[in-house]
Amino acid sequence: MATIGGRILVAPTSKLITEIDDDDVQIVLEHNNFNQYDIGFMQSAPGGIAQTEAIRFVSNATDLQEGGTGGPYQYTVSRNIDNSGGGANSWAKDSAIVNFGHMQG
């Protein structure tokens, strides 16, 4: 259900295991459901200030668990590919990211 002006997205998602700063190009996610050239999309409003960022995944996942059996997963990314004013954003731990699909490099 969506409210007036709302929307519903049905797509693979994950969340940040660690916070990221505006200059980070390595992100760590809970799930391994992004591939090289996928586009991730994030939105939030920390302190009531809306922010949005599109991220291109430059690498496939590296499993950080010893033995490589279940994550968390680290990815190399290209930040702020949507050029949404002022550069990349900082994101809190547990921020959600949705997979908008594959875009050939």
Neighbouring C-beta atoms of residue 99, cutoff 10 Å:
18
Taking the C-alpha atoms of residue 64 and residue 17, their distance in angstroms, rounded to an integer, is 11
DSSP label at residue 46: G
Q: Which pLDDT score is estimated for 42?
A: 93
* Predicted confidence (pLDDT) at residue 6 exceeds the cutoff of 80: no
| Mean pLDDT for the stretch of residues 3-22 | 85
Separation of alpha carbons 19 and 50, rounded Å: 17
State pLDDT tens for residues 47-87: 888 889 999 999 999 999 988 778 899 999 999 998 877 78
What integer pLDDT is reported at residue 2 of this predicted model? Answer: 54
Q: In the prediction, which pLDDT does 23 show? A: 92
Residue 92: what pLDDT? 95
Higher pLDDT, 45 or 103: 45
